[in-house]
Structure 1
C-alpha cells in the first residue's frame, strides 16, 4: 500500500495492529459503489443497507477503514456547523436554517444511539462543549450568545487559567473516534456490505469507480473522500486539504483533574481565532489539537505533512498555559481535513453520482447525518433530511495555483496575527 502514516494517532495506536481486508481483485458489478472507508462512506452503507437491503453495496478504501480523519480527529461528535445559522437564514430562510442546526444536534444523539444499538463501545459521553473566553476581546464576542455562562460557571466546567466567561452547548459528545469507525466497519460488513481495503481510487466517472486494482461498476457511485478528495483526478480544486494536528498526554494524575475539571468529559476550546479543541479521554489523558499547519502547494498530501514540530510545540505550550501543567506528551499526529471554497458542507445525488463532505473539521456527527441523507436519496425516500439546506449545494471550486496557496496560507497567518493582537499586554 502506497501511503503509510508515519505516526499513528493515539486513537489508532490504542487499538493495536490493523489486519487489512483484501483489496479489490479485478472488475466487479454492484448496485452502489462508495469511494472512502471513513464515517461518511460507512454511515451511508449502514443506513442504506437498512432502507434497501436488496441492494448490493461495496466500499473501496485506499488504506484501511479509519485511516483518514475518521481515525485521527479530536473525538467531538458535535452539532457545530461551519456556516453560522444567521448566514444560513439569510440565504435559505430562518426555518430551514433552524432545521439544519436541529438535524445536526440530533445527529449527536443518533451517533450514540446507533453505537449502543450495535454494541460499539466508543467511549461515548455526552457532556456538551464549553468554549471559554480568556481575553477581553474573546469575552466581547461571546456576550449575548445563546448558552453564555459567567466566569464561575465556565471555570467549574473547565478549570483553565484566566477564565472570564464561556459559551456552553449540550450538543456535543466526546468519543474514541477509531473505536467508532472500526466498529462501524465491522457492523456494515456483517450486514453484507463488501469492503475492499488497500484499493486506491484513481477516478470516478459515470457509473464506475476506477481503482488501482480494478473497476467497480454501479448504478450509483458515491464520493466520500473528504480531505483526500484532492487526490482524485478532476477533483483537485473541490476541497482544500488543510492540516490539523493533535497531541495526547500520558494519563494525568487525579490531582491535575481536580483542577482541570471536565468531570462529565465536556469537550473544550476557547474563543481564539485559530481553532483549538480538546477532550478528556476515557483513560484520563488530554487529547488536544489545533490548526496552524501550512497548506501545501497543489493540494499535496504527504505522510511527512502529518508532523510539524513547531505546531506540536505550540499545542504543548498552549496546554501548559491553559492549565498550569507540564504534561508528558505521549502521541503526536495530524492529517488533512476538507474545506470547500464557501465553507459550506454539502450532500447530494445527481445522475447516479452521490457526494458528501466538506465538513471543515466538524464531521463526526455531520457525517452521520450525511450518511442518513445519502441513504434516503439513493433509496428514493423523501424525508425531512432531504430538504435541508446543504442538500444539493454546490460550492464553487477553489482558485488555481498559485492563488490558492497564497490565499490559504495568508489567511492562516492573518488568523494567528489576530490572536497575537488580542492578547492582553503586560502593564
Structure 2
C-alpha cells in the first residue's frame, strides 16, 4: 500500500466537530488477537462488538491516516436501513427467506446505531426522521409505486415505506416539480464524523487500541505488514472500503467512486418554514444519478450527489474533492430543487470515494482456516450497513453464530471488475447514461430507452 499523502478537503463535518487529538503510530512489531485494517465505520464497529462479546480480546485497529479519514467521516449522514443491491438481487443469490431477513435486520440496525450513540454518550445529532424521496416526474412516480408494491408483497407495512401524494410530499419538502413521493421510515440523520470519532473513543474505552499514520503494505493470513512493523494476529479484518484498490492484489476488488458534497450557511426560521424538513428528514428524489441531503442539527442543508468521473486505474485524486465542475453541478441541482435558497451562500465543498463491488452487492466473510475477514462494498449505504456488518463479523469471529450469520451477504463473492480500459470506459459511460436517462425522463415523464439500457448496465 503506497504512502503518498492524501489531503482531504475540509468538510462541514470537520469544521463543526473541530480538531481531534491524533493517536500515535505503530512503533514496532505487535502480537494481538485481532488486527483490523481501517478505522472507519466497518473496522470500528467490528472492534466494538468483538470487545463487547469478549472483553479479554486484544484488538488493534490500524489506520493509515486518522480515524474517520475516509467516507465514514465525510458522507451525507444518512443512517439508512437499506442496501444498493435490490431485493431480487439478494434473493437470487441467497434465497427469498434470507433476503427478507437481511432487509429486516437492516431496518432494525438504525435503532441499534441510535442505541449505541445514546449508551456511549456520542454527540452525533442522531434524528430518526425517515427519508422523503420525491417523485418529480411520471417515471420516478412509477418506480416508486412498483417499489412500495414490492415491499407490501414482502410483508413490510407503511411504517417501513409508504407512498405520498403531491401535497404530502410537498409538506415534507417544498421542492419544485413535485408530483408525489414516498417515505422510508428506517432512516436517521447523523453527523457522521462525530459518530466515527465517538465510536473510536468507545472502542478504546473497552480496551481496544487504535494506531494512526500507519500504512498497511500487505494483508495476509494472520499478519499485517506495515511500514512500522509486522502485526501478527490469528484474525485479520480488512475494512478498507473505498481505499481497497490501493492494496496490493485488490486493484479490481472494489471500485472507488466519487461522491461530492456541499453545505449551505445556516438558514433562518423563515427560510426553513418555506422549505420544510421539520423532523430532519433526509431527502432525495428518484433520479438515476443519485442525490441526497439532510437538514443538519445547526440548521444548514448538507447536500451531495454522484457524477464526478471515475479516474483511470481506480485512482483517487484529492483535487477532485477540493472543488470541481462536478461540485458546480451539485450546487446547481440543489438550487433548482429548492429555489428558496436564492441568496444563501454555500460555505463548504468536499467529497470522497465509496466502495463499489462489480455486482453492487456488499459482502461479509470470515475464513477460519486463514483467519482473514472482510466486510464492505456498501455503494454509499454504509452508515447503517457497517454496523450490521460489524455485528455479523463479531458473531463469526467469536464462533457464536446467531441470526446474523445467516444473512444474505455472508459469504457472498462478487466477481472482479474488468481491467482497464474497460473499467474506465464502462463506469464513465454508465455515469453519462444515468444523466441522459434523467434528462429524458424530466422531458417526457416516461422511462425511455436510456433508462432501460441503464437497468441492464447496473443489473
> 2:212, 2:62 → 1: CA distance?
6
Q: How does 1:81-160 map to 2 (within 5 A)?
A: 81-146=83-148, 147-160=162-175
> 2:69, 2:8 → 1: CA distance?
12
Partner residue of 1:342? 359
Aligned length: 426
TM-score, normalised to structure 2's length?
Answer: 0.91
- Stretch of structure 1 that moved more, 247-256 or 336-345: 247-256
The answer to whether the 8 A contact 2:323-2:349 is kept is no
Partner residue of 1:197? 212
What is the Cα deviation at residue 86 of structure 1? 2.7
- Stretch of structure 1 that moved more, 3-12 or 17-26: 3-12
- Per-residue Cα deviation, 1:21-62 (whole angstroms, up to 9, x for no partner): 000011100010000000000000000001111210000001
Structure 2 residue 264 is the aligned partner of structure 1 residue 253? no
What is the Cα deviation at residue 197 of structure 1? 0.3
What is the Cα deviation at residue 90 of structure 1? 3.3
- Per-residue Cα deviation, 1:103-140 (whole angstroms, up to 9, x for no partner): 11111110000010011110000000011001122122
- Stretch of structure 1 that moved more, 352-361 or 409-418: 409-418
> 2:254, 2:146 → 1: CA distance?
34
Partner residue of 2:454? none
Partner residue of 1:55? 57
> 2:146, 2:18 → 1: CA distance?
46
> 2:173, 2:352 → 1: CA distance?
27
Partner residue of 1:206? 221
- SS of the aligned residue for 1:45 comes to helix
Partner residue of 2:190? 175
Partner residue of 2:152? none
The answer to whether the 8 A contact 1:247-1:330 is kept is yes
> 2:410, 2:122 → 1: CA distance?
29
- Stretch of structure 1 that moved more, 7-16 or 337-346: 7-16
The answer to whether the 8 A contact 1:293-1:308 is kept is no
- SS of the aligned residue for 2:287 comes to coil
The answer to whether the 8 A contact 1:3-1:303 is kept is no
> 1:184, 1:90 → 2: CA distance?
35
Structure 2 residue 392 is the aligned partner of structure 1 residue 373? yes
Structure 2 residue 365 is the aligned partner of structure 1 residue 363? no
Partner residue of 1:309? 324
Partner residue of 1:402? 421
In structure 2, stretches of 5+ residues that fail to align are 149-161, 446-459
- SS of the aligned residue for 1:145 comes to helix
- Stretch of structure 1 that moved more, 247-256 or 319-328: 319-328
The answer to whether the 8 A contact 1:245-1:307 is kept is no
Partner residue of 2:251? 236
The answer to whether the 8 A contact 2:366-2:373 is kept is yes
Q: CA RMSD in A?
A: 1.3
Q: Which of 313, 328, 334 does residue 298 from structure 1 map onto?
A: 313
The answer to whether the 8 A contact 2:224-2:232 is kept is yes
What is the Cα deviation at residue 187 of structure 1? 1.0
- Per-residue Cα deviation, 1:209-229 (whole angstroms, up to 9, x for no partner): 111111111000000000000
